[in-house]
């Protein structure tokens, strides 16, 4: 009887110790926030690096689901920004649509069917904002610059560990409102501390971003080359980045010359035509 009681007490001690080890195995939120920020370039990298660049050239492929139907359109894009000058080239790969280019300088024009058409500069700038790398990577850039204030405002807690599809370890943080309902969720790679999944509730419903294929483009600038965007559980878009360069392209003069209306090719992701 005594021996049995001793075994029970020993088992309870082992289980209690195991529970403590599991709890203490999770890093504290404050330390984790700092690691996430630095993994993305830190407060002095990220957005500051992008804004300090003399020019930007972003090439990517995006698949978008039409809001009014289940049909998808895939197109290759090339976004160029040099000072106040901006241009986006779109080449349709699959689905309905026309190849085009939208350009804004002091004036603005749309190129389609090898013809230039006048456009309203403010409208074109608003349209091009959709393709700006600062918007594409708004969440990682914000976490790099202001991760501490953002995550603390979301009242996140480190809740556990998960495995990804390849067996890699992930750290999970969850935010809840006063009623105990989940309002946000952030998942990061346990080795790199780079976000793989970000979820939150917005005025338009549940929003989710999935990130992968992180690359260091420049000192202090680490961004995911693949981004998927979901709303209310349905995928809205998938973006695969081909390249990001922080300098003006060689064909800059022709890109902002209104007399040049012939649309050239846009690079596609490796392995795709």
Q: Which residues, listed in sequence order, are joined to residue 221 by a DSSP beta bridge?
A: 218
pLDDT at position 154 is: 75
For tokens 């995006």, name the residue: 62
The answer as to whether 261 is a domain residue is no
140-165: average pLDDT: 87
- 154, containing H or E segment: none
Alpha helices in the chain (DSSP H): 2-24, 29-39, 47-52, 121-128, 133-136, 138-153, 252-255
Rounded Cα distance, 98 and 92, in Å:
6
Q: Which domain holds residue 77?
A: 26-255
pLDDT at position 24 is: 54
Cβ neighbours, 10 Å, residue 254:
12
pLDDT at position 52 is: 94
Q: Say whether pLDDT at 273 is over 60.
A: no
pLDDT at position 267 is: 81
Q: Give residue-wise pLDDT tens across range 88-139.
A: 999 999 999 999 999 999 999 999 999 999 999 999 999 999 999 999 999 9
The answer as to whether 11 is a domain residue is no
- What Cα–Cα distance (Å) separates residue 266 from each residue in 29, 76, 85, 91, 104? 43, 6, 19, 7, 19
Q: How confident is the model at residue 80 (pLDDT cuts 50, 70, 90)?
A: very high
Q: Provide the whole-model pTM.
A: 0.86
pLDDT at position 8 is: 35
The answer as to whether 7 is a domain residue is no
Cβ neighbours, 10 Å, residue 136:
22
* Assigned token pair, 88: 């986006």
The answer as to whether 19 is a domain residue is no
CB 158 within 8 A of CB 168: no
CATH label of the domain that carries residue 87: 2.50.20
Give the list of residues 6+ apart from residue 245 with CB closer than 8 angstroms, or none. Answer: 56, 57, 58
pLDDT at position 10 is: 35
Q: Give residue-wise pLDDT tens across range 1-43.
A: 444 443 433 333 333 333 333 455 888 988 899 999 999 999 9
Rounded Cα distance, 246 and 263, in Å:
23
CB 221 within 8 A of CB 45: yes
pLDDT at position 2 is: 46
Range with the lowest mean pLDDT among 66-80, 143-157, 164-178?
Answer: 143-157
Rounded Cα distance, 135 and 126, in Å:
12
The answer as to whether 81 is a domain residue is yes
Q: Is 164 left (phi over 0), alpha (psi -120 to 50) or beta?
A: beta
For residues 69-92, b (16+ Cβ closer than 10 Å) or e, as one string?
eeeebbbbbbbbbbeebbbbbbbe
pLDDT at position 169 is: 95
The answer as to whether 120 is a domain residue is yes
Number of domains in the chain: 1
Q: Give residue-wise pLDDT tens across range 187-246.
A: 999 999 999 999 998 888 999 999 999 999 999 999 999 999 999 999 999 999 999 999
Cβ neighbours, 10 Å, residue 253:
10
The answer as to whether 174 is a domain residue is yes
Q: Say whether pLDDT at 155 is over 90.
A: no
Q: Tell me the helix, strand and coil percentages in the chain, rounded to 5.
A: 25, 40, 30
The answer as to whether 18 is a domain residue is no
Q: How confident is the model at residue 270 (pLDDT cuts 50, 70, 90)?
A: low
């Amino acid at each position: 009887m005594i021996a049995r009681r001793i075994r029970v007490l020993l088992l309870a001690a082992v289980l209690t110790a195991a529970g403590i080890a599991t709890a203490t195995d999770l890093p504290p939120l404050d330390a984790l926030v700092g690691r996430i920020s630095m993994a993305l370039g830190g407060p002095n990298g990220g957005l500051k690096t992008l804004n300090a660049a003399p020019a930007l050239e972003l090439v990517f492929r995006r698949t978008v689901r039409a809001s009014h139907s289940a049909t998808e359109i895939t197109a290759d894009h090339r976004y160029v920004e040099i000072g106040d000058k901006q241009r986006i080239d779109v080449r349709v790969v699959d689905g309905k649509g026309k190849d085009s280019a939208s350009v804004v300088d002091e004036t603005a024009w749309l190129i389609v069917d090898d013809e230039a058409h006048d456009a309203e500069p403010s409208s074109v700038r608003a349209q091009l904002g959709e393709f700006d790398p600062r918007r594409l990577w708004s969440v990682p850039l914000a976490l790099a610059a202001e991760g501490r204030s953002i995550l603390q405002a979301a009242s996140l807690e480190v809740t556990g560990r998960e495995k990804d599809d390849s067996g890699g370890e992930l750290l999970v943080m969850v935010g809840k409102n006063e009623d105990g309902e989940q309002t946000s969720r952030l998942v990061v790679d346990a080795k790199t501390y780079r976000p793989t999944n970000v979820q939150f509730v917005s005025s338009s419903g549940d929003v989710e971003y999935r990130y992968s294929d992180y690359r260091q483009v420049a000192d202090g600038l680490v961004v995911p080359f693949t981004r998927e965007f979901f709303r209310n559980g349905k995928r809205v878009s998938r973006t695969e980045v081909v390249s990001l360069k922080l300098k003006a392209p060689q064909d800059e003069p022709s890109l902002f010359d209104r007399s040049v209306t012939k649309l050239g090719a846009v690079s596609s992701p490796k392995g795709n035509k």
